[in-house]
Chain A
Amino acid sequence: MFERFSKDARDVVTCSVALAERAGAESVTEEHLLLAMLDQEGTRAAFAFAALGMADRRASVETGLAEARRRGGLSRADADALAGLGIDVAEVVSKVEAVHGEGALQRGGKPKRRWAPGHRGFTPSAKDVLEKSLRIAIARGDRHIGGEHLLLALTAMPGVVAEVLADHGATYESVQRAMFGGG
């Protein structure tokens, strides 16, 4: 699949790995993909971010991502679904943090391992984003996967990143309009 990636899409992947390494994360997530994309200049995705007024709101995006991490990576849709069962996620988070310290839930549900630099893999959901970008490119009849397809894929996969993007006005439809025009 990577041989079909355009240069700017490859750059996103490389930068996301570097961001994950710098953050000490054990694997590369779709959050790293998004942040890598926000760092780019002169690409179609960068143009979309600028058109949607998102280019200079990186801090706000990071805050949104951090809030979700504090909820243990649960999206607001997850929290709503749990509220339907009578579970107040905010209450659970505050009880856990009262005992185990602030940010206790954000340290991840997976076992901790020592990761050597250069050995970070993508999480299953980040891989899903890469695959989705391929499907979007094929559906559009585009021969290469570019950053624009990665960005569309990020908006299309339900979860924290798509919610944070939507909070900043970047939905699948708005991004598509900004990058390709029309509907």
Chain B
Amino acid sequence: MSEATDLAQRAGDRDPRVGLRAVAALRRLLEQLEAVQVRSARNQGWSWQEIAGELGVSRQAVHKKYGRQ
């Protein structure tokens, strides 16, 4: 019984859909978290350069995404 459950569990884990959906959900969560943190940093007077440095992306990338606020 528990062996069958384990097998089903592992088969589920190997289903690409399960993993891909988790990645998509993670990306959605990441986008929201990034927006919160960038907004917070800007409110505290951080420059785009400083924010970009912490995020490990270019200044242009972060400004293009969140600029014009």
Contact = CB atoms under 8 A, between A and B. Distances in A.
A111 B18 contact: no
Contacts of A78: 21, 24-25, 28-29
B29 A87 contact: yes
Nearest to B43: A100
Contacts of A74: 25, 28-29, 32
A82 B29 contact: yes
Given A79-B25, A92-B29, A105 B36 contact: yes
Interface centre among A77, A81, A85 (most CB of B within 10 A): A81
Interface range on chain A (Cβ under 8 Å from partner): 20 to 34
A81 B21 contact: yes
Interface centre among B21, B36, B40 (most CB of A within 10 A): B36
Interface SS majority for chain B: helix
Interface residues on B, range: 20 to 34
B5 to A, nearest CB: 16
A143 interface: no
Nearest to A97: B36
Nearest to B67: A111
B26 A87 contact: yes
Contacts of A22: none
A59 B54 CA distance: 42
Given A100-B40, A111-B67, A89 B35 contact: no
A144 B7 CA distance: 48
B68 A113 contact: yes
16 contacts: A72-B29, A73-B28, A73-B32, A78-B21, A78-B24, A78-B28, A79-B25, A81-B21, A81-B24, A84-B18, A87-B26, A100-B36, A107-B35, A109-B31, A109-B32, A113-B68
Interface of A: 72-74, 77-79, 81-82, 84-85, 87, 89, 92, 96, 100, 104-105, 107-113
